[in-house]
Amino acid sequence: MVGKVYLVGAGPGDPDLITVKGLRCLQQADVILYDRLVNPELLENAKEGAQLVYCGKLPHYHTMKQETINHFLVKYAKKGYQVVRLKGGDPFVFGRGGEEAEECGRHNVPFEIVPGITAGIAAAAYAGIPVTHRSLSKSFAFITGHQAGDVEAEHQWSHLANGVDTICVYMGVSHLSTITKHLILNGKSPQTPIALIHWGTLSDQRTVIGTLENIDDVVKKEQITNPSMIVIGEVVRLHERLNWFQEEIVPNIPVANR
């Protein structure tokens, strides 16, 4: 008898932000394969005897390769287990959930997608930055920082710089200077506000603010590292007024442009 795989979004970090359905899946699972950025508190909801499998990945180092993860999902389900693949954020937002679902489909393993709150929205919200705003942003885009080094994606920078109001960048800290350079070269104002939100939604969240032309210096000074969400656009100016979660502000936007 074949079990079932649930691709569950764990949310952006705060364990309270997992969905009710995601929590229910977690409580009923026989096997849980979880990622590095999943809050360990969530694993306390696993039932007694559930098998926990760490699949964590660090930049430039994979504890478990994606092909191995795919194999385990199918293997455990074929044994009749209820399997949860617990992923930070949302499974289908830069989480490789699509690949895992395809693998299940190829092996006739039933699967279900349980969406989660993605960091591009949640980290920004916890920093008082709405990704859309009636007068400041009518469109937003999610991109990955790895795109900065992708030759095939070069043509997209012009669209991002000129056709999108708010840009949310995942996994982009190590590519920050390249990202800002591409946007400026393709027409984005050097004075465009940008925020980096480190450990978004957690108690040690830190937010730093700058502009495309000076954010590199700000990040180096404040020693901001991964994991951090990058938000670019005029909505970043709202951080100072809507910053409900923390009091820390690094004011690097010129007053004349506010």
Q: What are the catalytic residues? A: 35, 57, 171
Q: By C-alpha distance, which of 75, 62, 136 is closest to 104?
A: 75
**Looking at the DSSP assignment, which residues form a beta bridge with residue 84?**
6, 32
- Please tell me whether residue 8 adopts helix, strand or coil conformation: strand
Q: Is 228 exposed, middle or buried (0-12, 13-18, 19+ CB in 10 A)?
A: buried
Phi and psi of 168, rounded to 5°?
A: -110, 120
Cα→Cα distances 173→86, 178, 219, 230, Å: 24, 10, 9, 8
Q: Is 176 exposed, middle or buried (0-12, 13-18, 19+ CB in 10 A)?
A: buried
- The secondary structure element, H or E, covering residue 33 is strand 31-34
